[in-house]
Amino acid sequence: MIQTLISTAISAVISLVLLFGGAQLHRFAFYVTVAFNVMAWIGWASGTVTGEVAERILRYWWISVPSTGFQLYALISSGHPMLAVSCFLASFFIVAAAARATGVLS
């Protein structure tokens, strides 16, 4: 639970900076989001969404959904719709892999 709350807090801060930060902070938040997105794609593609990781993703979905929605809103509102699409797809594939790994999706 703590890991989920920490990642949610980081995501919320980055999203707020995208929405309200000055030019330099906005650029920093953009590059951090790009880096996190690349790591998400690598994690999904390398098959690391299994076991305890998959269970935790599905257990705390109710925290992740609003956080992801806010992140997508911040990206679209701040002029980064393509990054928003990439983040959405990475999140979707990660959740699908977690559901498949835990047997929720057969």
pTM of the predicted protein model: 0.89
For residue 60, the enclosing domain spans 2-102
**The predicted structure's pLDDT at residue 103:** 85
Q: Which residue has the tokens 């990054």?
A: 83
25 vs 11, 17, 19, 21, 68, CA distance in Å? Answer: 14, 6, 10, 5, 20
Closest-CA residue to 43 (of 81, 7, 11, 91): 91
Largest CA-CA distance found in the chain, in angstroms, rounded = 46
**The predicted structure's pLDDT at residue 106:** 66
Instruction: Write the pLDDT tens digit of every residue in 14-68.
Output: 999 999 989 999 999 999 999 999 999 999 999 999 999 999 999 988 998 999 9
Whether pLDDT at 1 is above 90: no
Whether pLDDT at 104 is above 90: no
| Structural domains of the chain, count | 1
